[in-house]
Each structure stands twice: as C-alpha cells, then as structure tokens.
C-alpha cells in the first residue's frame, strides 16, 4: 500500500493499524517509512520528536514483517510509535531535558518499553520534555522548544508535551508518557488527545528515573499511555499493566472489569470548582454541560458530596510529597527528614481511605483536567514566579496543580479526554477519576463519552480542505 492510502492510514487508530498489518494490507516497513516521512515533514515547526532512531526502526519493522508473514499476532506487532524521552530506550539518550545529563545513553530499556517491544511495537523516536519533567511547557536547553500543533505560539503542555504534540500532529499513533503532576493529562488537554494516568504501581516505572539512578519506585509517579482514542489507551494498558519484574514471581494479575455498560447506569460526581485552582469559566462550563447531557441520558449525576475529601487539606499533603519525589536524583537536591516523610505517607493513606469510601457511592468522578487552555510560551522568570491568565486575572502558575493532584495523592486512575473547543478554537479537557485499580472503569466510561459526544479533533492544519 503506497501513496495517499498509506498517508491516510496513519491517521487511523492503533487498533486499525495493527489489524491492517495483520491482514497484510500494509507492511510494517511501509508504515514505518510513511511515519518517518511525516515526522520529517510536520515536525519542522513543532519539534516534538527530538531523538530519532529511524535506522533501527527500519530494522525492527523488517523483523516485524517476517513475524507477521509467519502468522504471528501480538497486540502491537509492527506498529511504529514514539515514547517520551524520560523513558529509557537502550542505546538512546535519556537526558530528562537537563544539560547535566547530556550525552548519557540508556544501557537498557525501561520495563514499560520492554513490554511495548515484546508486544511488537517499533520505536521510531523519543519526544520532548521540560528540564527534569518539571513544567507545563516542553522547552529545554538540550532539545529546544516544542510547540502546540493547534497554535505554535502556545505550549503543548508538559511534561509529556512532545508526546501530546506528536499525537495531535499525526506523527505517532501511540505514546508512552509519565505523570507525577499531571504530565500525561495536562498535555492531553492542551493538545486535544487522550491520556491515562494509571493507578499507582499498576505499570512498572523501572527505567523511568533520572539518568544513573535505579531504586524503589518514586512516590506518586506513574507511566502510562497516550493516544487519539480510548480504545488505544485500553490496548496499550493491556500491554503495560502488571507487576514489575521485581514483584511478579508467583503472581497472577487481572484488572477489574468496568462496573457498568451504559452511561445511563453510572453514578457520577461532577466537580467544577477547586478551592486552590482558578478555573476558566469556559472550561468549567464545558464540564457542567457534559454533566447536564449525562443527566439527560439517565445517569445519576451529583455535583457535591459530603464524602468528597477536603481538597485543600489533601493538597497540603500532596505538595511536599511531590517536592520530595521530583527532587530525587536532581543535581544539588537535599534529602528529606525520614520521619517527616513517613508522616506524609501516613496522611496519604488516610486520604486513600476517604476516597475508597466515596467510590462506594460513586462509580466515577469528573473534573476539569486543567484550569486553562493552551497558553503562550513563557521564557520569563522561574516557574514559581510565573502567572497564568484565568478569567481576566493573573493567577499563580502552580495553582494549576490542583486539578491533576486530585487523583495523584490517593494513587487513583484518571483518564483525560477532549470535551470540545474554546471560543479561541483551542482544546478543552476533562478527566474521569475512578477507584483504586478501576482503570478499565475510567477508560471505558471515557470511551462511552467519546462515542456519545465526539472525541479527537485534529488541529486546523491537519483538517482536509
């Protein structure tokens, strides 16, 4: 399959591409070459795929074609894709956007990357990040700036901003991101794609650590899939999920099925206000409109609950735990007091129990993913001195941590999905939060919303006509 038909096929879902490969309607090498050509064409303005491994990708594609010819079938066999630069890929740099780590080459694949490759994926390259993954932009001194495909003057988000931009621009059908402060979900919202923050511990994070470190999993931190539809999130999570190699011996693992089949059957709590996070009125209105449409379909929708934990008190535990987690491995970081750290873990457990009680009464919780749409690139002061304009007022940059953190401290799964465009024509997003290990519930509920209300919309530059 060549020419226009091959180019058109690149815009299909990962599932459709795997089916086309299995049906021998296209070869992995043809698909990989087409994706490489698209990256070389479209990435000039965006700068999302900052490490390119095209020669090895061609070799892997030829090997996949040989396996397909023998009749082998795997969930991602022959599928070309990219992964976030902070996920180690053997033989490629993993700098975390920090000049101190320039030139460091990963000696082996991260465990999640191993699972993608074992499922047949062909890794074409790595996507951009901010320094030490600590920004909602994806600009760093090593690789430069990534721009949003919807408007190159704006941020694609961070820290998986290169991943989200590549997805939105059609330069990859699937991505592997990471999330400790919204880093999967925020870029998904700003670029209009889908992302899933798994339950903490569901996907092994070994190999997603600052260069030269290898120890216990970092609190709060997860790796997870990003895609252009929920079906692809579920396909990828099926490959990625399960105990890591250090814990897997003697264990069997199965994710709990989604509790409901139709939107009308769900019990939904919708939250549009956060005590610490200013939220654009248009985004809050879009989430409220989603709630109204769910009510019209027969879902049991509540807009408040006494079971909801105090989000301010929860954030007061999350913030210092985050600071400890993101400083690990950073040059010049100061270790925390051990007893103070254990006190934070005790407080985290108390909030986890409160959320468990809430999910006895509700199946899912819906909130905005982020309080603003894609914002202009900011090269000014340090991130803590920056502001974001919300409802006509300048607000602290990191006040926006509130919405992503709702799911982070209690270790809960959260699926980000696009819910429409703002008056400026920029994507707006919501997140679906579920109970512990209820990852299929949040993905499939988001999938029902996708079917009912529409899903991925390509940026204007990619639309026909």
174-210 core/surface letters (b: 16 or more CB in 10 A; e: else): bbbbbbbbbbbbbbbbbbbbbbbbbbbebbbbbbbbb
What gap in Å lies between CA 242 and CA 299, rounded to an integer? 32
261 part of the active site: no
**β-bridge mates for residue 269, sequence order:** 302, 365
What gap in Å lies between CA 36 and CA 41, rounded to an integer? 9
Residue 404 token pair:
């992503």
178 part of the active site: no
DSSP strands (E only) in 312-386 = 364-368
CA dihedral in degrees (87, 88, 91, 92; nearest 10)? 40
Active-site residue, selected from the candidate residues 86, 183, 188, 197: 183
Residue 180 phi, psi dihedral angles, 5° rounding: -135, -15
Largest CA distance in the chain: 62
Active-site residue, selected from the candidate residues 84, 155, 160, 178: 84
Residue 203 token pair:
């996907």
Residue 376 token pair:
């202009």
Active-site residue, selected from the candidate residues 159, 160, 178, 188: 159
183 part of the active site: yes
What gap in Å lies between CA 115 and CA 346, rounded to an integer? 33
Considering only CA atoms, which of 430, 416, 395, 393 is closest in space to residue 276? Answer: 395
Give the catalytic positions in this structure: 84, 159, 183
């Amino acid at each position: 399959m060549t020419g226009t038909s091959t180019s058109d096929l690149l815009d299909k879902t990962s599932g459709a591409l795997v089916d086309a490969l299995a049906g021998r309607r296209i070869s992995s090498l043809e698909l990989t070459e087409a994706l490489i050509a698209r990256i070389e064409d479209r990435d000039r303005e965006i700068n999302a795929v900052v490490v390119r491994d095209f020669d090895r990708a061609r070799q892997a594609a030829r090997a996949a074609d040989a396996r397909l010819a023998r009749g082998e079938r795997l969930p991602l066999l022959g599928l070309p894709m990219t992964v976030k630069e902070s996920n180690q890929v053997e033989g490629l740099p993993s700098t975390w956007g920090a000049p101190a780590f320039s030139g460091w080459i990963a000696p082996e694949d991260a465990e999640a990357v191993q699972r993608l490759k074992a499922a047949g994926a062909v890794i074409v390259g790595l996507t951009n990040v901010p320094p030490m993954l600590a920004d909602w932009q994806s600009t760093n001194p090593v690789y430069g700036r990534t721009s949003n495909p919807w408007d190159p003057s704006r941020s694609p988000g961070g820290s998986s901003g290169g991943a989200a931009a590549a997805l939105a621009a059609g330069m990859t059908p699937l991505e592997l991101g990471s999330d400790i402060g919204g880093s999967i979900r925020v870029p998904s919202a700003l670029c209009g794609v889908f992302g899933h923050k798994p339950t903490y511990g569901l996907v092994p994070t070994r190999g997603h650590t600052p260069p030269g470190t290898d120890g216990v999993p970092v609190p709060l931190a997860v790796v997870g899939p990003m895609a252009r539809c929920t079906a692809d999130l579920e396909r990828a999570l099926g490959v990625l999920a399960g105990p890591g190699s250090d814990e897997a011996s003697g264990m069997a693992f199965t994710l709990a099925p989604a509790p409901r089949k139709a939107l009308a059957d769900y019990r939904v709590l919708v939250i549009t206000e956060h005590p610490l996070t200013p939220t654009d009125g248009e985004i809050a209105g879009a989430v409220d409109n989603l709630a109204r449409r769910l009510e019209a379909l027969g879902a049991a929708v509540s807009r408040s609950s006494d079971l909801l934990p105090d989000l301010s008190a929860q954030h007061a535990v999350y913030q210092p735990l985050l600071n400890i987690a993101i400083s690990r491995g950073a040059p010049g970081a100061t270790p925390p007091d051990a007893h103070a750290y254990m006190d934070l873990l005790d407080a985290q457990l108390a909030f986890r129990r409160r959320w468990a009680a809430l999910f006895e009464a509700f199946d899912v919780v819906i909130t905005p993913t982020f309080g603003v749409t894609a914002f202009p690139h900011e090269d000014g002061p340090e991130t803590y001195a920056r502001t974001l304009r919300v409802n006509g007022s300048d607000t602290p940059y990191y006040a926006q941590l509130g919405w992503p953190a709702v799911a982070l401290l209690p270790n809960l799964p959260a699926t980000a999905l696009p819910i429409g465009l703002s008056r400026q024509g920029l994507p707006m997003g919501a997140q679906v939060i579920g109970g512990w290990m209820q990852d299929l519930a949040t993905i499939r509920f988001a999938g029902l919303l996708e079917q009912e209300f529409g899903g991925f919309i390509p940026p204007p530059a990619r639309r026909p006509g």
